Amino acid sequence: MPLSSYPILTENMRPARVDKARAAIADLEDGLARGEIQNAVYLRAKEMIGRAVEEAWDKAVIERFIHNRDHQPADETEAGLLREVGYASRPAPHTMKALRRKTDLLGDTVAGTAITGFLSEIDPLMKQIARGKEIAVKRLTGDAAREARAAASPLAAVSAPVLRRVEGIMRDLTAAVREKMVAQLDERGSRILEKYLKEQDAFLAEPQTGRSLARGYGPVEFSTRIGGGKSVPDIRMLIDALVTSTRETPGRTRYARRPDHQERLHKLSQERVEEICAAFIQRNMSKLAPIFDAKGGNPELVVVGNRINPAGMEADLRASFEDGSSFDIRTSVVWSQNQFGTVYARYPVTFHDVTLPDGSRMGTPSEARMQEIFVTVPASPQPDGGHEEDMDEPGF
């Protein structure tokens, strides 16, 4: 079924994700129709669909019923059941049965009806993902193989030696700054935790209702204030991992640092940096490897500089080719923050000082022009060495 068959899913994901989800569903269904799907295509489709489902689940269920202070369960029993749904894993082929069991306990409540509707809608999609895993193959055959090659990503056509070489250099770059990036995230997490605890003290110092005191100023309240009324997931999960709630007095809740909060924060930072470095390597391979492969020969790639700063990391590299052409590349990991305070990484890659085989400079070296011009300009013809009889005789 096309994406239009999943209205709840579509309405609750960002517009920027719609096209990716639509393409992923189409790729998955094409494979199911053929009876085999290339493993790389299946994994990409599964990832894109998984992200879309998780995003829609957070908006349609978690933010609407679990972390929404305006939604009032009928009693503590329903509130407990909702918490169980919130603590459960996000929808995936292997979690659907457990989620169904937890949701069925909510009955025909407003939340139960809405969550059941969401799970029922995506159930066929989860079954398709499960079926895709069964028919995924490393190599397609026949027409399927030809179609896959035609639609392959730029890296699919790059020779293995070139891929290994570029990947090795990128891994060395990330290894050199990995610990510093972890330290950056540790410091950021500590600042956020201290800010949260300070705001909690201010909250408890002000007159509060009995209900607000019992609820306390928890991770949800803090991340919702930062998000301007919308809970910021990465802030909420960070604080939730670092604090624990205690009842100071009956009807008064306070959150305090966990005894092992530093170890927990460091582990979270390490996991995040692993994700960032993997994305950085993939991003640069997709830019450099096709150029290297198209130029052929034995290009030289050297690291000119590699540094880390409060905004992220930055590296400069220089590539030189046997035909006399060359270029510099600047590649970065840049911390960015949206209007809700969510911090995420960007991976800009830019080309500079591009020299063609004849020694001329190529202007506006975008990625498209590197593919269209740099890799296609032939080497300058070598001067004629002359006939053998016209050459000088060796002297003494």
The model's pLDDT over 261-292, given as tens digits with 9 standing for 90+, comes to: 999 999 999 988 888 888 888 888 888 888 88
Q: Answer yes or no: do 95 and 42 share one domain.
A: yes
User: What was the pLDDT predicted at 395?
Assistant: 31
Show the tokens assigned to 144.
Answer: 């399927």
Domain edge (last residue) among 263, 286, 312: 263
Average predicted confidence (pLDDT) for the chain? 82
pLDDT tens per residue across span 187-229: 989 999 999 999 999 998 888 888 888 788 888 889 888 877 7
User: What was the pLDDT predicted at 202?
Assistant: 93
Lowest mean pLDDT, pick from 49-53, 80-84, 240-244, 337-341? 337-341
Residue (of 266, 267, 357, 270) closest to 320 by Cα position: 357
User: What was the pLDDT predicted at 345?
Assistant: 74
Show the tokens assigned to 318.
Answer: 């220089």
Show the tokens assigned to 297.
Answer: 């020969």
User: What was the pLDDT predicted at 192?
Assistant: 92
Dihedral angle of Cα 392, 394, 395, 396, to the nearest 10 degrees: 180
Whether 390 has a pLDDT exceeding 50, the answer reads no
353 touches 327 (CB < 8 A): yes
Residue 142 placed within a domain: yes
Residue labelled with tokens 């079926």: 131
Q: Answer yes or no: do 20 and 139 share one domain.
A: yes
In which domain, by residue range, is 306 found? 276-374
340 touches 232 (CB < 8 A): yes
Q: Answer yes or no: do 27 and 96 share one domain.
A: yes
Q: Answer yes or no: do 7 and 107 share one domain.
A: yes
Residue (of 211, 208, 229, 273) closest to 76 by Cα position: 211
Residue 331 placed within a domain: yes
* Percent share of the chain, pLDDT over 70: 87
Burial class (CB in 10 A: 0-12, 13-18, 19+), 313: buried
Residue 163 placed within a domain: no
Confidence of residue 373 (pLDDT cuts 50, 70, 90): confident
Residue 169 or 328, more confident? 328
Q: Answer yes or no: do 315 and 193 share one domain.
A: no
List, in order, residues 6 or more apart from 55 with CB less than 8 Å away. 12, 13, 14, 17
Q: Answer yes or no: do 121 and 256 share one domain.
A: no
Q: Answer yes or no: do 290 and 330 share one domain.
A: yes
Domain edge (last residue) among 203, 237, 263: 263
Number of domains present in the structure of the chain: 3
306 touches 176 (CB < 8 A): yes
Burial class (CB in 10 A: 0-12, 13-18, 19+), 306: middle
User: What was the pLDDT predicted at 389?
Assistant: 41
Prediction pTM value: 0.55
Q: Answer yes or no: do 211 and 311 share one domain.
A: no
Whether 314 has a pLDDT exceeding 80, the answer reads yes
User: What was the pLDDT predicted at 381?
Assistant: 58
Q: Answer yes or no: do 125 and 64 share one domain.
A: yes
Confidence of residue 151 (pLDDT cuts 50, 70, 90): low
Residue 159 placed within a domain: no
User: What was the pLDDT predicted at 155?
Assistant: 65
Q: Answer yes or no: do 107 and 243 share one domain.
A: no
Burial class (CB in 10 A: 0-12, 13-18, 19+), 142: exposed
Confidence of residue 340 (pLDDT cuts 50, 70, 90): low
Q: Answer yes or no: do 54 and 79 share one domain.
A: yes
Q: Answer yes or no: do 249 and 300 share one domain.
A: no
Show the tokens assigned to 44.
Answer: 């990409």
User: What was the pLDDT predicted at 261?
Assistant: 95
